Amino acid sequence: MRALNETHDRGLRSWVDSANSGATDFPLQNLPFGVFRREGRNEPFRGGVAIGDQILDLAAAHKAGVFAGEAAHGALACTGPTLNGFMAMGPAAWAALRLALSRALREGSPMQPKLTACLVPQAQAEHAVPAAIGDYTDFYASLHHATTVGRLFRPDNPLLPNYKWVPIGYHGRASSIGVSGQSFPRPAGQTLPRDAQTPVFGPSRRLDYELEVGIFVGVGNELGERVPLDAAEAHVFGLGLLNDWSARDIQGWEYQPLGPFLAKNFATTVSPWIVTLEALAPFRTEWTRPAGDPQPLPYLESAENRARGAFDVQLEAWLESAQMRAARSGPARLSRTSLRHAYWTVAQLVAHHTVNGCNLQPGDLLGTGTQSGPTPEEAGSLLELSDAGKRPVELGGGESRTFLQDGDAVILRGFCEKAGYARIGFGECRGTVRPAA
């Protein structure tokens, strides 16, 4: 697990003034990685690092010769249209480049004259998905979400017997993953109307969002090779925000016996920035399991995971309707929760995924599943907030929702705060629903 070092010092300030505001998601202590290009220009996507309201162009910085040694090799790996090559290099290379960036962007750095020309305003940039995602697996790692949703459909038996023993997951569709700003048509499929015996085909009427965290794999493992729990985080490059959009009415008809299909494969949205596990080190917390619950099997259990395996990442979901955009009134917050409530840790998800020898590859994406907290207002989906459509969620301005309407944009946000450390954030993960095709 990543240790604290000089890059976490709250007193560090950057010569990029906007990084010192205290309110930015991207202070010097963060330095998340993404892929970008200047908007409206016919130029290649390449790697960049967010600092304040700017992006440091890593291709330009490498060309300017500001890095040396392992950091230079890492920067070179970020000059292409995806971060996969850099992700594959492993924790030593990730840490070397992040340390070099921290020192180069600090107040008084002799690199400032060279790097100033390598900055691009975030407002003038467009993003791509930061990695070529070969495979996407979505887990179901929130006990509170699983219990609430299970109670809606199985009041007498909300949790199936296996839930507290095994991390539940399914393989999702990688080709429909898009970066923040993604818009997509309302999905269509078969649904079974209430009291009907025959399904009908048409647009989903119960479209929902899911507030999740995305886990980007860095170093892969060979086919047949297990990744032990205490080595799992060495295979994780970092975390981002993830919205696994869900058509609940389609899902309700199709999910037995093999699980979600058309209800999930039409769109998944990720944030443009990946926050490294090293940047998140100050915000680790203990992972606990209620005494009355089954304790993990040995391959999912360790003292280190118990002591520091969870992350206290604050997560929020917001909704901006077409009416709000027209009035410029700003979005309405739907819920706020924390990743620390997850029933399984990042390391446990990776260890379980590989325990049968499954080979993960650089750039693969794992979703945590909808993250909901222990109280109703911490729910990570409209399905929960509206009690499956029975209780509309008030948005203000005379608007309410049970499920998403055409023109709605859902905005996910994440950040970490702790006394003695700089606040760091994840930026936005925004997606918009268009009318059905």
3-state secondary structure 112-157: HHHHHCCEEEHHHEEEECCCCCCCEEEECCCHHHHHHHHHHHCCCC
Identify whether the C-beta of residue 250 lies closer than 8 Å to the C-beta of residue 200.
no
Digit-coded pLDDT (tens) for 207-224: 999 999 999 999 999 999
Residue 153 has pLDDT above 90, yes or no: no
Digit-coded pLDDT (tens) for 25-64: 999 999 999 999 999 998 999 999 999 999 999 999 999 9
Q: Is the alpha carbon torsion for 358, 362, 364, 368 positive or negative?
A: positive
Residue 311 has pLDDT above 80, yes or no: yes
Backbone angles phi, psi at 75, to 5 degrees: -60, -40
In which band, very low, low, confident or very high, does the pLDDT at 155 lie, cut at 50, 70 and 90?
A: confident
Residue 139 has pLDDT above 80, yes or no: yes
Whole-angstrom distance, CA of residue 108 vs CA of residue 28: 14
Amino acid at site 191: T
Whole-angstrom distance, CA of residue 299 vs CA of residue 246: 32
Give residues with Cβ within 8 angstroms of 248, minimum separation 6. 204, 206, 207, 208, 263, 383, 388, 403
Residue 99 has pLDDT above 70, yes or no: yes
In which band, very low, low, confident or very high, does the pLDDT at 256 lie, cut at 50, 70 and 90?
A: confident
Whole-angstrom distance, CA of residue 213 vs CA of residue 313: 9
In which band, very low, low, confident or very high, does the pLDDT at 429 lie, cut at 50, 70 and 90?
A: very high
Q: Which two tokens stand for residue 170?
A: 């399914």
Question: What average pLDDT score do residues 232-249 get?
Answer: 98
List the catalytic residue out of 8, 127, 144, 145: 145
Is 145 annotated as catalytic? yes
Mean per-residue pLDDT over the chain, rounded: 97
pLDDT at 1: 67
Neighbour-count burial of 212, counting CB atoms closer than 10 A to its CB (0-12 exposed, 13-18 middle, 19+ buried) = buried
Hey, what domains does the chain have and what are their CATH numbers?
6-128 (2.30.30.230), 136-434 (3.90.850.10)
Question: What average pLDDT score do residues 404-409 get?
Answer: 98
Q: Among candidates 156, 232, 216, which has minimal Cα distance to 33?
A: 216
pLDDT at 182: 98
Question: What average pLDDT score do residues 246-266 get?
Answer: 94
In which band, very low, low, confident or very high, does the pLDDT at 154 lie, cut at 50, 70 and 90?
A: confident
pLDDT at 343: 97
pTM of the predicted model over 0.85: yes
Digit-coded pLDDT (tens) for 322-350: 999 999 999 999 999 999 999 999 999 99
Looking at 278-331, which runs of residues are DSSP E strands?
A: 284-285, 310-311, 314-320
